[in-house]
Structure 1
């Protein structure tokens, strides 16, 4: 805060309300010729008040209002919890939390806490339908933030040669989606959609099919990891061994038959 006088004053008093302030701590006072300055560091809600610069022969006042902390947008995965925090300029009892125009009540889903001017809303076990705009409302004061809940993809592990189906569920049916492996869209796969459930079928998977698969709908994306285990000798069907000085081992692997020649 600054005030300027007609002539260089010999004394100056800074007041907060009716309380005289002293230099030190969070208050810093300086004077440069006829300009007087009061600096308040690390502002808090309790600093809201009327401040006075009094030089004896004249004085000037200013009102300082410290706004509470606004809500911040949150991005979470399905199944997690999220906590929204805001701070009012002064303690109040008539505080409401809203999702859109709906007033929220405390319970298993929502937990609300208040300590002086600090308010918290915890949303538990997040679902896609919990996405939306949330507001902390107190009288004519209001602060809002957007919560975005991303669907969690389930990673899978499968053996080579089988078929694998990946699923993602949207918050509403009939919305077009795109399936990707890594960052590329695929063409070798079968895709199905029934209501809000989308499926990607990968036939006869091979080790190179391992990777991260994404279900993309607009700015929403869910990703799952797929790991394909290659065939091991214990998985092979060793069905004939000829006992002779020169033997052939016939290995039947899926649709592929391999002949190995052993020399004794």
Structure 2
């Protein structure tokens, strides 16, 4: 207050983050920087950011979650890793300043006991001893220099790493004269402590379609690691099994489909990274041309053609169906049965272009459906080229020839191109997710502050504010803030002209606010009127 009086209150907002990041973390260059956060619930959607950009796991950035605890580790830090680290869980955030300090290098320690022997003809021998304070774990580089008497400039003669003596010949100096020599240490290279190493690396795997593929790696230390398939992090599921026994890590891919042919399998741990490839062999049954009689032939496949002509059941040729198994049986093979037997590959039932264009509102369900020609054909779903895995929000169904992918609650990040692949056949869907548009009501008195807030799904998405269709610019009275996913427009002192429709636009998504400003009303009396009113009141009381 003007007279100097004041009062202070503390506001504590409890959020989903139970244990926050430290305000500041300092590490030396080449050390690891570790951040730990604890939230109140398991299986929460969390994100790590550095200077506003979302972090992804790499061989130098380790991101792990263990129940309520979430860990971020920068391996072998450098000065460029300094910045602001932010952890986000829902609407709650916590930040820390990371500072990577460069190691201070001690100045070189001068050699001692320097001597010169001039007994040799047309030359001199210089010798010296290392400083007694020089550490044994260091590697010294000695430089021998000369200076002509009367000159201020030193010239390099030679460099040696291991020797403590050198011979200077007269032929090595440019002209006759008086010279002085010195031996100095040019640099000291500190020895480094070896980090974890790979004892048994990953090996490329070649398996038959439908069999299990196993990848194994052994480290020199007991570390926690992460497996990736084509840069996508793997989780324990019905197809992928990950185990660890001390220093050995094993990945098992069960019943590998042909779509994984050529996939890159990567293992990452603290300071360790290794990769291998997976190759799939397809087992194809063939019928060779036969030049003999009375030999039964059994081939397993689906529908059958011989030399391009459809086969039908006839005497000596039987086409069998047993569940998902199809067989053609030639009981007594003869020369006339020679030929090329084939079966058509799996195909998709055609659907209209409108059915392949999906448009939904945010939080609404999305269902992608396609039909195959064969019920036993496996199908795999992809989004923007990355395999889609089943989760709490995504269900993948296979009901005979019908294949479905269901997104129970669509988010803006679910927009993209989805592909269903069966064999060498592909069907694509284009999914567009629109944000739900809301008109929020804001009412304030004249001269009071007005704060408009909206939250985006991505922190790096730019947002623009408009009033009645005209872009709003920052001024002394208007502040525009962007804090991660939170976007705010603050009117510090509202005027009647501020009333209208304010809109926040991010990409093709908008959120609108209807702002109503009410005028402040004051009641004034003149001194004369106030005196008359007082007299009237007094007479009535009397």
**TM-score w.r.t. length of structure 2:** 0.28
User: In structure 2, what is the Cα distance between the partners aligned to 1:172 and 1:115?
Assistant: 39
User: In structure 2, what is the Cα distance between the partners aligned to 1:76 and 1:181?
Assistant: 28
| 1:225 counterpart residue number | 513
| 2:489 counterpart residue number | 200
Q: In the superposition, relative to structure 1, how do residues 181 and 116 fare at CA in structure 2: closer, same or farther (>3 Å)? A: farther
- Check conservation: 1:68, 1:89, Cα contact below 8 A: no
1:158 aligns with 2:426: no
1:100 aligns with 2:384: yes
**TM-score w.r.t. length of structure 1:** 0.52
Q: How does 1:116-155 map to 2 (within 5 A)?
A: 116-152=400-436, 155=439
Give CA-to-partner distance per residue, 1:225-259, whole Å, 9 cap, x none. Answer: 3242646xxx967798969679xxxxxxxxxxxxx
Give unpaired runs (5+ residues) of structure 1. Answer: 1-16, 20-62, 247-264
- Check conservation: 2:348, 2:427, Cα contact below 8 A: no
User: In structure 1, what is the Cα distance between the partners aligned to 2:409 and 2:430?
Assistant: 17
User: In structure 1, what is the Cα distance between the partners aligned to 2:444 and 2:530?
Assistant: 29
The structure whose Rg is larger is: 2
1:211 aligns with 2:501: yes
User: In structure 2, what is the Cα distance between the partners aligned to 1:212 and 1:89?
Assistant: 53
Aligned pair partner of 1:167 in 432, 445, 454: 454
User: In structure 1, what is the Cα distance between the partners aligned to 2:376 and 2:531?
Assistant: 91
- Check conservation: 1:182, 1:214, Cα contact below 8 A: no
Cα distance, 1:141 vs structure 2: 1.4
Q: Which region of structure 1 is more displaced relative to structure 2, 201-210 or 94-103? A: 201-210
| 1:11 counterpart residue number | none
Q: In the superposition, relative to structure 1, how do residues 228 and 146 fare at CA in structure 2: closer, same or farther (>3 Å)? A: same
- Check conservation: 1:77, 1:150, Cα contact below 8 A: yes
Q: How does 1:77-88 map to 2 (within 5 A)?
A: 77-88=361-372
Instruction: Flag the structure with higher strand content.
Output: 1
Give unpaired runs (5+ residues) of structure 2. Answer: 1-309, 313-343, 535-542
Q: In the superposition, relative to structure 1, how do residues 228 and 93 fare at CA in structure 2: closer, same or farther (>3 Å)? A: farther
- Check conservation: 1:207, 1:228, Cα contact below 8 A: no
Give CA-to-partner distance per residue, 1:52-108, whole Å, 9 cap, x none. Answer: xxxxxxxxxxx9x88432662333333222222223344344112222333323342
Q: In the superposition, relative to structure 1, how do residues 66 and 139 fare at CA in structure 2: closer, same or farther (>3 Å)? A: closer
Q: In the superposition, relative to structure 1, how do residues 88 and 66 fare at CA in structure 2: closer, same or farther (>3 Å)? A: closer
| 2:350 counterpart residue number | 68
User: In structure 2, what is the Cα distance between the partners aligned to 1:202 and 1:104?
Assistant: 45
- Check conservation: 1:160, 1:206, Cα contact below 8 A: no
Q: How does 1:228-247 map to 2 (within 5 A)?
A: 228=516, 230=518
Cα distance, 1:109 vs structure 2: 0.7
| SS at 1:106 equivalent | coil
- Check conservation: 1:181, 1:214, Cα contact below 8 A: no
| SS at 1:191 equivalent | strand
- Check conservation: 2:384, 2:418, Cα contact below 8 A: yes
CA RMSD of aligned residues (A): 3.9
User: In structure 1, what is the Cα distance between the partners aligned to 2:412 and 2:348?
Assistant: 36
| SS at 2:356 equivalent | coil
Cα distance, 1:110 vs structure 2: 0.9
Q: Say which structure, 1 or 2, has more relative contact order (CA 8 Å, 6+ apart).
A: 1
